[in-house]
Amino acid sequence: MREDLLSLEQYSVPDIASVEKRLGRPVVKLDANENPYGASPRVAEALSNCCLERYPDPDWNELRCLVGDYLKVDPVGVIFSAGGDEMLDLLGRLFLEANDEVIDCPPSFVMYPAVAAFHRARYVSVLRDGEFRIDVAAVEAAVTNKTKLIFVCSPNNPTGNPTPEKDIRQLLATDRMVILDEAYAEFAGYTQVHLTESYPNLIVLRTMSKWGGLAGIRLGYAVAHPEVRREMARIKSPYNVGIAAQVAGAASLRDRATLDANAQKIIRERELLSERLCKIPGGRVHPSQANFLYWTTEGASALAWRDALFERGVLVRSFSEPIEALRITVGTPQESDLLVEAMEDVSAAHIA
């Protein structure tokens, strides 16, 4: 076994079942940026007619055409994966060799350093500024002849703020591959996927987990230059996206009105919840264009906050680096009520 991988911290979640048994009710799960309104109702019907005894289309032709229509891009440049994590692994396979470098701007998505580790690349961290904006000049200064990938999440996970197009263009001018992760684009109301037409060194990542409510299906996709897309397809597993995922994705993309309406509910609740969190002592909520909010804990242990909230039946995500903070998924109004009640209780008890 590889010693460098054995030392990696495994992703884990607390024991939800024991807390639910003690409380006598379900835990309010606001830790994974899931969509509380779920999938399009057309998905269940489509899955009931799914032909499971046959292998799926290895080239996802129907899905590519639907995404092409949705994003107004050439379907030739669209590639699908079993969730965003597989797409990140494909990028590592295609671009990284041992001792290459990957630039990331934390706080950011936890899988970016993992991609570097899995492929024996060097992870280069360029911290964001006090408002969690990318320091583009610092990224440019960090680029070396070994730099292969620059990761940008916009809106950023976990902070929720976007990266302006002018900054993306400046990073693209380094001539390194820029991986623009737009997993939360539908909650921001914009995309920069149009830049793929002008920049062959740009790959835009998207997912059906958040807007589409299909986190359990595992369906991600990317838009890239056709030559890059062709090489990515060459190194994937033959049938990497199962028939259920393809059927669910197609049904979802044919019911965009429902998904957009659900996204608008989340956006409205995000703004209402942000106002409520501003009134709770012990932290600061930051502006977000995603389906979650970032709440820095003024130096107190974010893990202590998380554990105290979990004991009260609300599960959120905690971070200790590079700053103590909670990431709180925007749920339903009823879930927001339970969250705020628990946070007010923790704050008043001075547990954090």
Per-residue pLDDT at 223: 98
Whole-number Å distance between alpha carbons of 186 and 200: 24
Whole-number Å distance between alpha carbons of 77 and 21: 48
Residue 109, pLDDT > 70, answer: yes
Per-residue pLDDT at 159: 98
The structural domains of the chain, ordered by start, are 3-38+257-349 (3.90.1150.10), 41-255 (3.40.640.10)
The CA radius of gyration of the chain, in Å to the nearest whole number, is 20
Eight-class DSSP state of 17? H
Distant-in-sequence, close-in-space partners of 238: CB < 8 Å, separation ≥ 6: 58
Q: Which H or E run contains 202? A: strand 202-207
| Structure-token pair, residue 212 | 């589409």
**Cis peptide bond upstream of 41, omega within 30:** no
| pLDDT tens sequence across 136-178 | 999 999 999 999 999 999 999 999 999 999 999 999 999 999 9
Distant-in-sequence, close-in-space partners of 298: CB < 8 Å, separation ≥ 6: 282, 283, 284, 324
Other C-beta atoms closer than 10 Å to the C-beta of 321 total 10
Average pLDDT over every residue of 224-246:
96
| pLDDT tens sequence across 313-327 | 999 999 999 999 999
| pLDDT tens sequence across 171-202 | 999 999 999 999 999 999 999 999 999 999 99
CB 210 within 8 A of CB 18: no
Residue 24, pLDDT > 90, answer: no
DSSP per residue over 279-334, as a string?
TSTT-EEE--SSSEEEEE-TTS-HHHHHHHHHHTTEE-EEE-SSS-EEEEE---HH
The pTM of this model reads: 0.95
- At 68 the three-state DSSP class reads helix
Nearest residue to 212 via CA among 220, 203, 224, 223:
220
**Percentage with pLDDT > 90 across the chain:** 91
β-pairing, 325-329 vs 292-296, is: antiparallel
